[in-house]
């Protein structure tokens, strides 16, 4: 069993953290951002503390400036997220995505893995867009992503959220493993030019980090504190003897999900209080907190 380091992304919207992570590692493969991280950015927080009332355009301009500053530090993919609610239509998301992809080169648009987000991604990749499907919590969502991005020119990313499942007492690493197994079964049935790359997200601990490496994810995105701890651990890597600790968390069993050419056949319902609903509402709250009308 050969274990190699996946592509390593930083999960941050702060260019200062980008520079520090790159200096510590010598190289950074990419970066992921989202509304919550943008809200925490020191530049944005300083504007708020100064009493500046931010319009929606102000927030987008700040987001663009941050992304362009990050681009001046690293050359890899930078994921930026469109604002959306359960009610946002695919056409609106695509319009936002088309603007955001002009911010700099190699921008990956994060669409939420909702019915409308999947429609948006399906349209966007047909026109050469790059996508990172976010807020993924189960195999059904991941199956829909696989199908919706069949026509992608560039390799799509799918981001299962590990830590959010742990918060609910379930082993979030199972979602990663289940998606990988399902994608492997899909690839046997349907050849595609660009396979979907699994990006381990919502990494909360070194256990998450090392387990993602052990499971062979394509990409792992981590906050700066994980980078710093890994450096302190002298770049330790798991080997074939490594064992994932469940820490008393309940398992998430593998499901036999069929492959459908038509991604709309995968049902992703709006369930109040679900991890998907909770995750989307968190981003909405952070985004709207920044905007004063």
Residue-wise pLDDT tens digits, 41-76: 888 888 888 888 888 888 899 899 999 999 999 999
Residue 292's pLDDT band (boundaries 50, 70, 90)?
A: low
Whole-number Å distance between alpha carbons of 169 and 44: 34
Residue 293 pLDDT class (50, 70, 90 cuts): very low
For 189-246, write each residue's pLDDT tens digit. Answer: 766 667 899 999 999 999 999 999 999 999 999 999 999 999 999 999 999 999 999 9
Residue with tokens 């994060």: 110
The pTM (predicted TM-score) of the whole model is 0.95
**DSSP-H helix ranges across the chain:** 15-25, 35-40, 42-49, 56-71, 90-100, 115-126, 139-148, 162-167, 173-189, 206-215, 224-232, 275-290
Q: Catalytic positions, please?
A: 110
Question: pLDDT of 115-156, one tens digit each?
Answer: 999 999 999 999 999 999 999 999 999 999 999 999 999 999
Give residue 251's pLDDT: 97
| Structural domain spans, the chain | 7-290
- Arithmetic mean of pLDDT over the chain: 94
Q: Which two tokens stand for residue 116?
A: 């409308």
* % of the chain exceeding 90 in pLDDT: 82
**Cα–Cα distances in angstroms (integers) from residue 55 to residues 41, 123, 174, 195, 292, in the given order:** 17, 29, 41, 39, 6
What is 7-290's CATH topology? Answer: TIM Barrel (3.20.20)
């Amino acid at each position: 069993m050969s274990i190699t380091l996946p592509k390593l992304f930083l999960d941050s919207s702060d260019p200062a953290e980008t520079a520090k992570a790159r200096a510590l590692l010598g190289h950074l493969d990419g970066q992921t951002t989202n509304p919550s991280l943008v809200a925490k950015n020191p530049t944005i927080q300083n504007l708020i503390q100064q009493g500046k009332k931010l319009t929606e355009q102000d927030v987008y301009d700040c987001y663009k400036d941050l992304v362009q500053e990050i681009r001046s530090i690293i050359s890899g993919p930078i994921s930026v997220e469109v604002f959306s609610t359960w009610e946002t239509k695919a056409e609106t998301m695509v319009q936002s995505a088309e603007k955001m992809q002009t911010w700099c080169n190699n921008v990956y648009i994060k669409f939420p893995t909702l019915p409308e987000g999947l429609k948006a991604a399906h349209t966007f990749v047909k026109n050469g867009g790059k996508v990172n499907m976010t807020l993924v919590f189960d195999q059904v969502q991941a199956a829909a992503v696989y199908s919706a991005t069949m026509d992608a020119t560039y390799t799509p990313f799918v981001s299962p959220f590990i830590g959010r499942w742990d918060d609910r007492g379930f082993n979030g690493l199972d979602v990663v493993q289940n998606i990988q197994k399902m994608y492997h079964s899909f690839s046997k049935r349907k050849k595609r030019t660009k396979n979907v790359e699994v990006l381990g997200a919502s990494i909360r601990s070194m256990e998450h980090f090392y387990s993602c490496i052990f499971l062979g994810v394509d990409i792992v995105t981590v906050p700066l504190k994980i980078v710093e701890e890994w450096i302190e651990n002298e770049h330790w890597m798991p080997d074939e003897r490594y064992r994932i600790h469940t820490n008393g968390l309940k398992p998430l069993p593998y499901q036999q999900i069929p492959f459908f050419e038509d991604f709309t056949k995968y049902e992703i319902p709006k369930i109040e209080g679900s991890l998907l609903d909770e995750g989307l509402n968190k981003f909405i709250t952070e985004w709207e907190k920044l905007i004063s009308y």
